[in-house]
Amino acid sequence: MKQTSASILQVALAVPLRKVFDYLAPQGVSLDQVEPGMRVQVPFGRSRKVGVVVALATSSDVPANKLKAIHSILDAQACLDKEQLKLLNWAADYYQHPIGEVLSAALPRKLRDGVPLSADETVWRCATTAPAEALAELKRAPRQAELWQLLSDCPDGMDQNQLGQLEFDARAALRALKERGWIEAITRKTRTTLLPSVGTEQAHTLNDEQQIAVDALLEHARKQGAITVLPVLNGETLLFAPFDDQTAMIKKRFGLLEPDVREEHYLKPEELDCILVPLVAFDDHANRMGMGGGFYDKSFAFTRDVSNPPSLIGVAHELQKTASVFHEWWDVPLDKVVTDAAVYLGASHRKNAE
């Protein structure tokens, strides 16, 4: 790390205040060991909070006798790199949202709670090459034989999570193979998954549970005679291409997969009945924070001027809910947001309910 003459750490905390907080380094720790993007645990009121260092400073507006020291530095390296911090700072500024809440929302839950960025995990791997005559003995121990074959096919070994997904309890087979001296347990570092590097052109993919939910929804819609569509980029706005299980997909701008259909089959936003809208964050009033490209707001701006607009339904995880999302006049409101835990109504639906 670069040497610095700074003496103050500016820390962003997940509180509804649009500011950062100044702290001193812990006793015995040089600021040469700290860089922006690292997590720290700090005293805050009567409690302690996990925050992210956003800058090093040479002075503070807080009187020297009022400055508190950080309780501990949680990382040996930054959780968020310079480009990620730049992007998140831009998002906080653009949406007029507290930087601490934006950074907190960008981190996985475990890191927000202060769990170490890297931890030790036990991995089982082959320790030797078993002779053919010894392998013949495993015919009477099918579980050991199956596990030995699996480990032989995994030169990097298998961790506890992978072993736990097997169709049988591997613990007895592990003990037996270890007693034979054929396998060994080693310890290696594992790193919590963070944000992808900014600038990579790799589209997000659904996890297994999300894919199951989407497939079920599509199947239900098609049984009701609905046409299902996916967005395609059209300059600065969106059009929508019909697709089904047989439609080929091609990679387009931003690495997104789009249906490979002729343009004359595209539908305009005005022709749709219901749109499921992705988002980065939302609040109790169904205000939405997107990725900042403006495609959604430009494409559905017409909904303000028609009497029977399509339903706009945000789809999110409950953990994406934040205290408030700053709302500009050009932001197109959602009718509701559906999460794995609740349904949040937009302003128009709340008014009708009242």
Residues whose CB falls within 8 Å of the CB of residue 284, separated by 6 or more in sequence, listed in order: 321, 344
Q: What percent of the chain lies above the pLDDT cut of 70?
A: 87
Domain count within the chain: 3
Q: C-alpha distances in angstroms, 337 versus 188, 211, 222?
A: 41, 19, 22
Q: Is the pLDDT of residue 198 over 60?
A: no
177 within domain boundaries: yes
**Whole-number pLDDT of residue 320:** 87
Of 341 and 347, more confident: 341
Confidence class of residue 204 from pLDDT cuts 50, 70 and 90? low
Q: How open is the CA angle 340-344-349, to the nearest 5 degrees?
A: 145
Provide the angle, in degrees to the nearest 10, between the axes of the packed helices 82-94 and 99-106: 130
Average pLDDT, the chain: 83
Which of residues 112, 142, 170 is at a domain's end? Answer: 112
Runs of H (alpha helix) within 181-268: 208-223
- The CATH number for 333's domain is 3.40.50.10420
Q: Is the pLDDT of residue 4 over 50?
A: no
197 within domain boundaries: no
Q: Please tell me whether residues 165 and 69 are part of one structural domain.
A: no
309 within domain boundaries: yes
103 within domain boundaries: yes
pLDDT digits (tens, 9 = 90+) for 152-175: 888 778 887 788 777 778 888 888
Q: Please tell me whether residues 290 and 240 are part of one structural domain.
A: yes
275 within domain boundaries: yes
Alpha carbons 219 and 197: distance in angstroms, whole number:
35
Which of residues 112, 140, 162 is at a domain's end? Answer: 112
pLDDT digits (tens, 9 = 90+) for 104-141: 998 888 888 888 776 677 888 888 766 666 667 777 88
**Whole-number pLDDT of residue 2:** 43
Q: Please tell me whether residues 187 and 239 are part of one structural domain.
A: no
Runs of H (alpha helix) within 290-353: 295-299, 347-353
Q: Please tell me whether residues 136 and 182 are part of one structural domain.
A: yes
Q: Please tell me whether residues 105 and 222 are part of one structural domain.
A: no
Q: Is the pLDDT of residue 353 over 90?
A: no
DSSP 66: G
Q: Please tell me whether residues 131 and 97 are part of one structural domain.
A: no
**Whole-number pLDDT of residue 212:** 82
pLDDT digits (tens, 9 = 90+) for 24-55: 988 878 788 889 999 999 999 889 999 999 99
CB distance 314 to 286 below 8 Å: yes
Q: Please tell me whether residues 333 and 214 are part of one structural domain.
A: yes
Q: Please tell me whether residues 84 and 170 are part of one structural domain.
A: no
240 within domain boundaries: yes
257 within domain boundaries: yes
Which of residues 66, 81, 112 is at a domain's end? Answer: 112
pLDDT digits (tens, 9 = 90+) for 264-297: 999 999 999 999 998 888 988 888 888 767 888 8
Q: Please tell me whether residues 233 and 184 are part of one structural domain.
A: no
196 within domain boundaries: no
**Whole-number pLDDT of residue 206:** 63
Q: Please tell me whether residues 255 and 346 are part of one structural domain.
A: yes
Here the tokens at position 66 are: 């009022």
- The CATH number for 30's domain is 3.40.1440.60
Q: Please tell me whether residues 130 and 108 are part of one structural domain.
A: no
pLDDT digits (tens, 9 = 90+) for 329-346: 788 889 999 988 889 998
Identify the domain containing residue 102 by its residue range: 8-112
Q: How far apart are the first and last CA of the chain?
A: 58
Q: C-alpha distances in angstroms, 340 versus 219, 250, 279, 286, 323?
A: 20, 30, 14, 15, 18
Q: Please tell me whether residues 261 and 140 are part of one structural domain.
A: no
Q: Is the pLDDT of residue 209 over 80?
A: no
Q: What is the pTM of this model?
A: 0.45
Q: What percent of the chain lies above the pLDDT cut of 90?
A: 32
Alpha carbons 286 and 350: distance in angstroms, whole number:
10
